[in-house]
Amino acid sequence: MLIRLLLVFFLYCFALHVDAQEVYPSKPIRLYVGFAPGGGTDIAARIISPYLSKELGQPVVIENKPGVGGNIATEIISKSPPDGYLIMLSSVGPLAYSPHIFKLGYDPLKDLTPIGLGVTSGNALIINPQQLKAKTLADYVAIAEKTPGGLAYGSSGAGSGGHLAGELFAATAKINLVHIGYRGGGPAINDLLGGTVPSLFATIITAKQLVESGKVTALAVTSHSRSKALPNVPTIAELGYPGYEAANWYAFIAPPKTPAAIVNKLNNAINKALRDPQIKERLLQQGLDPTPSSPEEMAVYLKKEYTLWGGVIAKAGIKVDN
């Protein structure tokens, strides 16, 4: 009888212990986006999050936390509890550019937990055909070589993806390009159309709208492969600059020391979403290429991008006042 009572007591305690261990997730998950609604990161998050909610059995609620190109939101993540209930769709900016430009309160290689890549994209080199008589990338390079003081190109701002894509191309093609930074993509587009700046490295989606309107000419895209949004525009790499790639990418991250079980569950749900035919098509139509990965693959990719852009930024002498 005593043994039976002890067995019942043991089983009761074990059941209490199992109940006390919360099955993840048991409440809504907050998904930070470090930019205002409407941008590429926000669009990707809003396409993917409903699938994650369904797969995880809990709402995945997007919270836009704009500020300093996503740096503020990324720093919040780096200092949050590692319980899986606050994650972020961050981007190449705060993870690979900003550490070499700003004084940050986090180290992306040490203070964050990679969950997995989300999507990759690129920029397009577009020109005002009324101002710059270039029909091909070779024409553009030839004009740059003959332009005293260098050929100007614009971007949405110092330290932006467009800025760095231009600096990398200038170094790769060994030409002199002069960067003109704007306070956002809108003002840059206005000056391109107005003839103030002859060329611009713009996001794929922005370029698509302008190319279809006939207002600009797209000479090349900066991504590894052609974009479905601009399928007839070649990559810089295929136009004689093998190895060139300047990708915009968005990746899911969690606070440091997030348990592997939680990371793997989130990674599995994210990868299922990225492979879903309907979600994949919606992303591609936005110029966003679904890029499933493991947490380990993302960590390797992050380190590679961090090193690459650190070198580009140092060589170009890019500095931004904090």
- What is the rounded distance in angstroms from the CA atom of residue 65 to the CA atom of residue 32? 7
Contacts of 18 (CB under 8 A, 6+ apart): none
Helix (H) / strand (E) element for 242: namely none
What is the tens place of the pLDDT at every residue in 159-200?
A: 888 999 999 999 999 999 999 988 778 889 999 999 999 999
Q: By CB neighbour count within 10 A (0-12 exposed, 13-18 middle, 19+ buried), where does 20 fall?
A: exposed
From CA 220, how far away is CA 217, in angstroms rounded?
Answer: 9
List the structure tokens of 222: 């900066």
Within 13 Å, how many C-alpha atoms sit on residue 218's CB side? Answer: 29
| CB atoms closer than 10 angstroms to residue 10 | 10
Nearest of 256, 258, 302 to residue 118 by alpha carbon: 302
Closest listed residue to residue 201, CA positions, set 250, 137, 147 = 137
CB 240 within 8 A of CB 138: yes
pLDDT tens sequence across 95-145: 999 999 999 999 999 999 999 999 998 899 999 999 999 999 999 999 999
Q: Is the pLDDT of residue 20 over 60?
A: no
Q: Assign 4 a pLDDT band (cuts: 50, 70, 90).
A: low
High-pLDDT (> 70) share of the chain, %: 92
Would you kindly state where each structural domain of the chain is located, as residue ranges? 23-120+247-316, 122-239
Amino acid at residue number 298: M
Is the pLDDT at 273 greater than 50, yes or no?
yes
Report the distance separating Cα 221 and Cα 243, nearest Å: 13
The yes or no reply on domain 23-120+247-316 and CATH 1.20.200.10 is no
Taking residues 205-211, report their average pLDDT: 88
Asked, colleague to colleague, whether 23-120+247-316 and 122-239 share their fold, the answer is: yes
CB 52 within 8 A of CB 60: yes
pTM above 0.85, yes or no: no
Q: How far apart are CA 247 and CA 121, in angstroms?
A: 6
3-class DSSP state of 251:
strand
Map tokens 């380990």 to a residue. 296
CATH of domain 122-239: 3.40.190.10
What is the Cα–Cα distance from 179 to 197, expressed in whole angstroms?
10
